[in-house]
Amino acid sequence: MNKKKIGVIGATGYTGSEIVRILSQHPGVEIALITSEARAGEKFSDVHPFFQGIVDDVLHPAGKVDDTQLDLVFLALPHGVSMEYVKRFAGRDFRIVDFSGDFRLGSPEVYEQWYPKKHVWPDGFRDAVYGLPELYADAIREAPLVANPGCFPTGAILALAPLVDKRLIAGEGIIIDSKTGVTGAGIKASDTNMFSNVNDNFKAYGIKTHRHTIEIQRILEELAVRPSGSRVDTNTDTDTDAAIDSAVRVDAGAAPHSHREAKDASASSSTDPFRKEQLAPLQFTPHLLPVDRGILTTVYARPEAAGWTTAGSGMYNSGRDFLEKIYKEYYRDKPFVHISSQPPTLKEVRASNYCKIYVDFDERTGNIIVISAIDNLVKGAAGLAVQNMNVMFGFDETDGLTHIPVSP
């Protein structure tokens, strides 16, 4: 088999080193080019010494792309920089996976509301597909440009997708509380990631204004306006829909949102991903942990229809058992999402592409609680990018990504 030729643009940061680490062990690709403007001429292993004797490729300026045969390019670049390269590479034969937030939000207008920069390549939004294979695999297969999700949105969306898609929660009052390791702040030194500010400390940041808020909102709203119980890809969950129908006593094809949809006769055919009738603004607050990597997200939501919460009188022992069944069915063919019987920890997913999810129902408060754990540099960045690449090339989705989590 001829291996696909891959370029990595911007390899001196954490995500750049992670993508090279994963690609160097991938059976279907070869790294044809690694670039750095600041460190051009040096070896990749000079920048990241733990690669010495493993990946000693010389770093080139990004202009080297012009005379290198490539099948796909990863843009491991900051927000506001990637769009310049997507514009520059428009019309080239290779496909692109972009790590930044430059094409995640659906339009340049929304982007400019949340990122302090004018968007220079609005045309890119026509081609961009949101890169979460658990939801968008069919679109990713043919996409020329994949917008790799943010780290916080990956954990939050995977935690909430079954509940939103299956119309099991109310559209109001969703709270997402996330904690991340310090690598989420990037490799450059700053007050945020100084040892004296992080060690023995813990803080919230980006309160009300974190740019991942609108990314999470956008994708969940896309799920909320689809026919109830649908999947974004072509797989269907008939077993799960039947379970919901039995427990909630609603037609599996009808949304419990119908009292809101009645306000708009066109609700079932609307393609507008920002319909406020479907999902109210959610609350997202990130926190910085004194650890190097990992994201633990806790989600709180209210049931939309109360019927299933008493499902214990029927075929389920508790609301938690019912929810766990829903999640296992929803992700049954998704190799990197594991539904756990106990709340996950960061070390259970460390250095891996897995997302572990625990779901429960609190009979005392009436809240659904979902906890997800991912590695922010792997499932939240580089691993997810390789998973997207696998889908784009028709590889097995798990190729190069079956690393067992590192613990302790």
Residues classed as catalytic: 151
Question: What is the rounded CA–CA span in Å between residue 374 and residue 56?
Answer: 29
Element holding 9 (H helix, E strand):
strand 4-9
Question: What is the rounded CA–CA span in Å between residue 179 and residue 297?
Answer: 6
For 109, how many CA atoms within 13 A lie in the half-sphere containing its CB? 0
Give me 184's structure tokens.
């989420």
Asked if residues 151 and 15 have their Cβ atoms less than 8 Å apart, the reply is: no
Question: What is the rounded CA–CA span in Å between residue 254 and residue 257?
Answer: 8
**Closest C-alpha among 228, 233, 218, 212 to residue 273:** 218
Residue tagged 């954990």 (tokens): 155
Q: Where are the alpha helices (DSSP H) in 78-189?
A: 82-88, 108-114, 124-127, 133-142, 151-165
CA angle 331, 379, 352 (to 5 degrees): 95
Question: What is the rounded CA–CA span in Å between residue 35 and residue 58?
Answer: 8
Interhelix angle 151-165/319-330, rounded to 10 degrees, is 110
Asked if residue 408 has a cis previous peptide bond (ω within 30° of 0), the answer is yes
**Closest C-alpha among 396, 401, 407, 385 to residue 14:** 385
Show the beta-strand stretches assigned E in 344-387. Answer: 355-362, 367-374
Asked if residues 355 and 154 have their Cβ atoms less than 8 Å apart, the reply is: yes
Question: What is the rounded CA–CA span in Å between residue 350 and residue 408?
Answer: 9
- With a CB cutoff of 8 Å and minimum separation 6, the contacts of 387 are 133, 336, 353, 397, 401
DSSP structure string for 156-185: HHHHHHHHHHTT-B-SS--EEEEEE-GGGG
